[in-house]
Amino acid sequence: MTSTSHDRLLIIDFGSQVTQLIARRLRELNVYCEIHPYQNVTDAFLADFAPKAIIFSGGPDSVMRSGSPRPPQSAYTLGVPILGICYGQQVMMHDLGGRVEAGEHATAEFGRAYVTPSDAHVDLLAGWFLDGSGKEQVWMSHGDHVAEIAPGFEVYGTSPGAPFAITADTSRHFYAVQFHPEVHHTPNGATLYENFVKLAGFIGDWTMGAYREEMIAKIREQVGDRKVICALSGGVDSSVTGILLHEAIGDQLTCVFVDHGLLRLNEAEQVVAMFRDNYNLNLIHADESDLFLGELEGVSDPETKRKIIGRLFIDVFQKYADTIEGAEFLAQGTLYPDVIESVSFSGGPSVTIKSHHNVGGLPEKMGLKLVEPLRELFKDEVRALGHELGLPASFIGRHPFPGPGLAIRCPGEITRDKLEILRKADAVYIDQIRKHGLYDEIWQAFAAILPMRTVGVMGDGRTYDYALALRAVTSVDGMTADYYPFSHDFLSETSTRIINEVKGVNRVFYDCTSKPPGTIELE
């Protein structure tokens, strides 16, 4: 839990797939909120957290099952507004004296549904049912349904499968809906959250400017006059972390930029120049490309490559960090989704598809304490903070780039020659995307060099050169992705440019695999 001075809203997570979206909708309203799994929300936790309002999320369980998730009963006596969503509605009804029926006796609803209002007015629905159709589209996903509402509640909206789609006890400010207002497919859902936080008395003071000031004060308080080191990758998260710390503690911060020789064309120079010239921060440019490329020589197994890079990164970082006398803290750009994932009650151990590269494990090994100023932010909030800190828009909007860099875009053995070809081809491809004004529409785009040569003909001569794969995807979070539908003209122009401008490539493929079944990177 944080010690923010803002009014805060508590989201009790009962395991819905879309709980994070509730937090998104609230943050968009400049309301500070935290998601906590229901098991952690005890009476003592609630008293300490002192929420100004509570939201019960949806969830996959049935309230009729003994041992199914519940909020602490003190939630109902705190005297703060509560909004229950889907399973959250059913829990609220069940706990307060209503009745829920199991799926087999009820009309299950999954997907689009329409609610119509009752005659009674409730502030929660201000701005609803105004388009003349007399109904609102909502997204349902429930098997069980409320069969009898709890004493004190009234019905304010009904859908064909949910006679109690919208209910409220306005005297206690308890509201409960069967549908999911947080999802995109409930088009007017954001209004419902806006109404809820308004009637709970939030003033919407969670802004990036305020966050920046608070974080700077917090960092100063945590660090005092001691020293901090920060691993800078050139990506948005580590850059924003570094700059925020620099603002807070100036020279007490040293950033280490580990150049593993697997960066894109001119990338190392650009990153170093940006930080040295614009921010004047202590920066060690650790050019360790010989070490990394040496150890990767002859290695073609993707996991072995990742493990080597991860291990060397930690060794190298430690070597440079040891030169900074008295460093007691390590700054890391951990984001809120990482924090939620690590505490989520529903997120059991999942299969490792790829071992991701990060600096986890370093703090214990080196006896360092962590400074994580982005722990409360979502990715787009980090971008907004970067903007607030004066990072150039072109930098903030850059596509994600993986820690292992070009190594995982070079399936098979990595050689300096292949990396050279890949860097040039990737630069041409990205240049094409920018020239055609497509960069911001695409979530991530890159070239990969394939582990094969093919025969071609150029200028009446035979060529036997590398084949290149181009990848471009749209995505929201990198968890799922779709390939970007370039026009044929774009693809043929780009292929021609790459083959003409990059020696060593004579064939270009476009990767039209979505994720799943593919992953975004090739390894």
Residues that bind ligand XMP (CB under 6 A): 354, 356-357, 400, 402-404, 444, 478, 515, 519-521
The answer to whether 28 and 71 are in contact (CB under 8 A) is no
Beta carbon nearer to ligand XMP, 356 or 434: 356
Min separation Cβ 477 and ligand XMP, Å? 9
Q: Which residues are within 8 A (CB) of 457 and not within 5 positions of it... i.e. 6 or more apart?
A: 463
Edge-to-edge strands of the sheet including 369-371?
A: 282-287, 253-259, 227-232, 327-331, 369-371
Dihedral (C-alpha) 359, 361, 366, 369: value to the nearest 10 degrees?
Answer: 80
Min separation Cβ 485 and ligand XMP, Å? 19
The answer to whether 36 and 13 are in contact (CB under 8 A) is yes
Beta carbon nearer to ligand XMP, 173 or 357: 357
Beta carbon nearer to ligand XMP, 92 or 472: 472
In the chain, count of helices (H) and strands (E)? 15, 20
Beta carbon nearer to ligand XMP, 158 or 444: 444
Beta carbon nearer to ligand XMP, 3 or 342: 342
| Token duo for residue 229 | 């080191």
Which residue(s) pair with 56 in the sheet?
Answer: 12, 84
Q: Which helix (H) or strand (E) holds 379?
A: helix 379-388
Min separation Cβ 220 and ligand XMP, Å? 29
Sign of CA dihedral 206, 208, 210, 212: positive
Residues marked active site are found at: 86, 180, 182
Min separation Cβ 305 and ligand XMP, Å? 10
Min separation Cβ 419 and ligand XMP, Å? 17
Q: Where are the beta strands (DSSP E) in 327-409?
A: 327-331, 369-371
Of 105, 110, 106, 165, give the one whose Cα is nearest residue 135: 165
Min separation Cβ 332 and ligand XMP, Å? 12
Q: Please confirm whether the linkage preceding 181 is cis (ω < 30° from 0).
A: no
